[in-house]
Chains A and B, each alone.
Chain A
């Protein structure tokens, strides 16, 4: 077997692929954050909690009503998205136009409350969610065993990422969104309901997070703290990509997944810190992030 840097080439290829899979999760989560920050200027610290809710709702819907994975893939994000809109309507709207720090603190508080309540009810050992039958098994590649489910995660995550980017950057609806947040008064003058637009945008960002949660349910332990563990990493990804840059969030998400994967091979102890090291370096060289607009 050929070796690269003292590691079998096959292992490196395997890690590259896994890095892309994890990166797809990061991309999906940071995408939602970037949409919410880019369009609404809200630093959504409740994003991890929404991801967690997506997974929890999926499990609970299955346990209580037998709702299967495929239905949950649509229904859970919808439920959590509506919940997000309620938060926007009752809480975030009151601090619109204030300094970013207010939205950060408010959403952080909301996240802690949701997490605390669910921890009290369900504990932290995790809820069980079986993988759908169709995904049992996997491809036997030369360099690794790739479970069908992981392949599906890459496919669907990239699809959603591309779709969202396309919608915001290339369609008429997207241009309304961007304009509505740029100059609300002007848009309102054109007869567009800007508050509703903002609510829907927040709800949409939350939906993407919840969607990632549904994807995560069969492979990770579903528990009330699962979101808080991943949130900080995702924030780092968004900062590296450039706050609010949709394409930046997606590309950086994938890139960080790969960098983290390789770190796990060469120096595993450092794997949770490597993304933050990249963040420091990027901020020193380009304070607005890799894809951010210069302030």
Chain B
């Protein structure tokens, strides 16, 4: 009798669990909203090709998860936090979007992740750089996946100071991302015995950098660091070349440079520049194989952001599959509990503050003689282990981090 009773309760319990697992995927649909700069400064590093990477992940996953459809909606963030917030609000309230992916401009990301927290949905940030996204702006509802300003500073700035660049001039894009990067770089420079002698903040975006380059030249600094991104960085590098900045003995350090930027500059202009990246398409067999497929789809090689979008989408869908749920907290916990091993990262892990910690790479742009084709652009100088690259939790200002 007791055995029969046990069997019966077990059967009922498991039936309920299956039932609840199915009911946990709302509307029998997993809906992903892709929000990124589709037409402006950051289009090429994320943009429509990021959407392509997202769709590749869904197709590779099989198009459905536990029998539920996977749908995608997308929107242009126009680098504008206000219009992006209203888009995302509509997605959450009317379209039942479960995950917001992409997210490029840090100002947009900070606004959108607040909304995600209010509505308890999940976000995976792949394009933004500001390290504050998992520090003072952390929420229990988002994950920051590809990179942030902390390793950019820690990788490039540390390497350049250790090579003897002691006095720094920092040229900063005047918004959240630039400020975060400037702060992180200043800290690394000072910790390694260097000094920031001057900073200049330029409006975003700027096409003419000649005034700033002239100020940098007359400052007498050893190192001129660019704390900006996209066309701001490429314009500044072009102008620095024109004004003979490096010929006059100063070192140029681009703190955030994407593959698409280097491709646009060409190896002639960009050769020798050191940079930190979270991934490079030609760094190993897995990366190369995926980059080949990506190139067939898009005609270009993927940036670290494109690769990160693919990897994080896979990670998300696997977590939905494993938990049978699209509930934000359930999925986030599952993602945190699962190490990430794929074409993007080895032993990557998501911390309680939402930071995905993985190895970063210090790279140097090849010379025209070394470069075999238009996308053969980097040589990896050094691997920066994840724990060394990212801000340690002991320094975190994120309220989610339990201080021991």
Contact = CB atoms under 8 A, between A and B. Distances in A.
B207 A229 contact: yes
B309 to A, nearest CB: 17
B13 to A, nearest CB: 55
Interface string B241-265: 0111000100000000000110111
A271 B264 contact: no
B28 interface: no
B218 interface: yes
A130 B268 contact: yes
B39 A119 contact: yes
B26 interface: no
Contacts of A19: 211
B43 A138 contact: no
Contacts of A29: none
B207 A221 contact: yes
Interface string A271-292: 1110000000000000000000
B215 interface: yes
A125 B214 contact: no
Contacts of A124: 39-41, 43-44, 230-231
B62 interface: no
Given A220-B235, A264-B211, A269-B174, A11 B218 contact: yes
A35 interface: no
Contact of A272 (B41, B203, B263, B265): B203
A130 B205 CA distance: 23
Interface residues of B, number: 40
Q: Name the residue among A144, A220, A221, A272 with the largest chain B CB count within 10 angstroms.
A: A221
B200 interface: yes
B260 A272 contact: no
B243 A147 contact: yes
B238 interface: yes
Contacts of A116: 39
B207 A230 contact: yes
A268 B201 contact: yes
Contacts of B44: 123-125
A268 B208 contact: no
Nearest to A261: B211
B208 A220 contact: yes
B264 A21 contact: no
B49 to A, nearest CB: 9
B87 interface: no
A160 interface: no
A147 B205 CA distance: 24
A223 B248 contact: no
Nearest to A8: B218
B210 interface: yes
Contacts of A264: 200, 202, 211-212, 215
A271 B238 CA distance: 21
B139 interface: no
State the main secondary structure of chain B at its contact with A: helix
A100 interface: no
Interface string A215-237: 00001110101100110000000
Contacts of A221: 207, 231, 234-235, 238, 264
Contacts of A126: 231, 234, 264
Contact of A10 (B47, B207, B218): B218
A271 B261 contact: no
Interface residues of A, number: 42
Contacts of A144: 214, 217-218
A79 B270 CA distance: 32
A273 B268 CA distance: 35
Contact of B265 (A11, A128, A138, A265): A128
Interface in B258-296: 260-261, 263-266, 268
A131 B242 contact: yes
Interface string A114-136: 00100100011111101100000
Contacts of B234: 125-126, 221
Contact of B214 (A18, A219, A223, A273): A18
Contact of B238 (A127, A138, A219, A225): A219
A165 interface: no
Interface string A4-24: 000010110011001101100
A74 interface: no
A125 B260 contact: yes
Nearest to B259: A125
Nearest to B218: A11
A145 interface: yes
Given A11-B218, A225-B40, A271-B202, A145 B211 contact: no
A89 interface: no
A220 B206 contact: no
B242 A15 contact: no
A147 B208 CA distance: 14
B311 interface: no
Nearest to B200: A268
A258 to B, nearest CB: 11
A149 interface: yes
Contact of A219 (B43, B211, B230, B242): B242
B39 A223 contact: no
Interface in B167-222: 174, 200-203, 205-208, 210-212, 214-215, 217-218
A130 to B, nearest CB: 7
A138 B245 CA distance: 12
A226 B41 CA distance: 10
B214 A123 contact: no
B325 interface: no
List 6 tightest A-B contacts by C-beta distance, closest first. Answer: A272-B203, A125-B264, A264-B211, A125-B44, A123-B44, A126-B264
Given A14-B218, A268-B201, 7 more contacts: A15-B214, A22-B208, A124-B40, A144-B214, A230-B207, A261-B211, A264-B215
Interface of A: 8, 10-11, 14-15, 18-19, 21-22, 116, 119, 123-128, 130-131, 137-138, 144-145, 147, 149-150, 219-221, 223, 225-226, 229-230, 261, 264-265, 268-269, 271-273
6 contacts: A124-B231, A219-B239, A220-B235, A223-B231, A230-B207, A264-B211
Interface of B: 39-41, 43-45, 47, 174, 200-203, 205-208, 210-212, 214-215, 217-218, 230-231, 234-235, 238-239, 242-244, 248, 260-261, 263-266, 268
